[in-house]
Amino acid sequence: MKLSSVQRVGDEGVRGEHEVGPVADLPAGAVVGAGGYAVGNIDGGLFAVSRRCRHLGADLANGTLDEHGHLVCPWHQSA
Ligand code: FES
């Protein structure tokens, strides 16, 4: 399986793609940045969310995954 890009899908359909890299570079528990997105791997399930925390704008690419698979913000630990 390859993870070569993240596609943003809005009401109008696909808006753009961001290169992420091979899925081998995204092991379980990892979170990385790809353009405006934080991309992660929860036990083999891949996700992409907006990179800026909605609280005060921390970079969620620097976040961590907790034991429940929630992305935890690096600044104030919101999940
Ligand atoms: S900036 Fe993310 S919880 Fe505050």
Do residues 61 and 51 lie in contact, with contact meaning Cβ atoms separated by under 8 Å? Answer: yes
Looking from the CA of residue 74, the nearest atom of ligand 1 is: 2
> Looking at residue 15, what is its pLDDT?
61
Ligand 1: centre distance to CA 18 (Å):
24
Alpha carbon distance 65, 32 (integer Å): 12
pLDDT per 10-residue tile (average), the chain, 79 residues: 53 65 90 92 93 96 95 97
Q: What is the pLDDT of residues 41-59, one digit of tens each?
A: 999 999 999 999 999 999 9
What CATH topology corresponds to 27-79?
Answer: Rieske Iron-sulfur Protein (2.102.10)
Instruction: Give the closest residue to 29 by CA, choosing from 78, 2, 69.
Output: 69
Ligand 1: centre distance to CA 60 (Å):
9
Q: Is the CB of 54 under 6 A from ligand 1?
A: no
> Looking at residue 42, what is its pLDDT?
94
Q: Is the CB of 78 under 6 A from ligand 1?
A: yes
